[in-house]
Amino acid sequence: MTTAFSPVFAALIAFVACLVLVPALLGLLSMFGVYTIVEEGRCHVYVLFGRVVAIINEPGLHILWFKMGLKSPIVRWMGRRYILDMRIDQQYLRSQPVNSEEGAPMGIGIWYEMFISDAVAFLFKNADPRGSLAANVSNSTVRCLSNMKLAEMLQDRHAMSQTVRNEVSPQSHEWGYKLGSIYIRKVHFRDTQMIRQIEEKVVNRLRQVTSSIKQDGANQVSIITSTAERQAAVEFAKAAAMRPRIVGEALNQVAADPEVEAAMFEILETQKMVESKAKITLVPARSAILPELLASASRNT
């Protein structure tokens, strides 16, 4: 039984040691300032009696005794450790008020990146470096971009971004912040009444352009229609003038032969009589007064 119980008991002891004793030991060593772990994108600044003792900005496990010597336990208990985030941060300032050269009140939205470049300056040269940087960007935007022409303000955003960045970067580096990219994201009108007036002007202009296009189209259609009607009238007139000539030439050719002419007119007379649907009464050659009687009978009927 003892031999069967020993491996289980040993495994239980090892599990408890790994679960409880090792973290407790590591915590105790960290409490006495033996080591520290720096995460990616972080910086540890150790201060003792108002003086910076060590700055560690490389990620990994660091033995503090190798960097600060015997001061490490004292710094851990009597000093202070600052943990700074060195990663790139972003901020957006909305509707910074500027005026164009024409006097139009404009608002500019500016987006910028920043990161900590000097940990000591960030901690001790400015009480609120982030707020100071935002104020500096805002003031530089208003100072550099005011009195620009409205067309340039609405179009040349890249040049505006470069102007603001060149103005802000030297001052921000003194506070431990380094400015990254700056981008003018939005340019808009701040006066509501002016926006409505511009909208009305645009709508009226669109209506004028639309009516002009419609009128131009109607004029083009009228020109095309009148041209087609004139050409058709000319062609119809030519056709009407050609018909008598063609008929006359045909009659001249028929009249050249008297027999053909007589036969043709007889045929035409017969055709007209047939088309008129008139009643024809045949009377013998020697019928005396029979035609007069038939005519009086037809009148009475």
Rg (alpha carbons) of the chain, rounded to whole number = 55
> What are 39-81's pLDDT values in tens digits?
888 888 888 887 888 888 888 888 877 777 777 778 777 888 8
Task: Identify the H or E element spanning 214.
Answer: helix 192-255
Residue 1 above 70 pLDDT? no
* Dihedral (CA of 66, 70, 76, 79) sign: negative
Whole-angstrom Cα distance, residue 39 to residue 73?
21
pLDDT digits (tens, 9 = 90+) for 90-129: 888 888 888 888 878 888 888 888 888 888 888 888 778 8
User: Which residue(s) pair with 92 in the sheet?
Assistant: 111
**pTM (global) more than 0.85:** no
For residue 26, pLDDT over 80 is answered with no
CATH number of 89-190: 3.30.479.30
What confidence tens digit (pLDDT) does each residue in 242-270 have? Answer: 878 787 787 777 777 787 777 877 887 77
**Per-chain mean pLDDT for the chain:** 80
Please give the DSSP secondary-structure letter assigned to residue 280.
Answer: -
* Structural domain boundaries in the chain: 16-85, 89-190, 199-275
**Residue 36 neighbours by CB distance under 10 Å:** 21
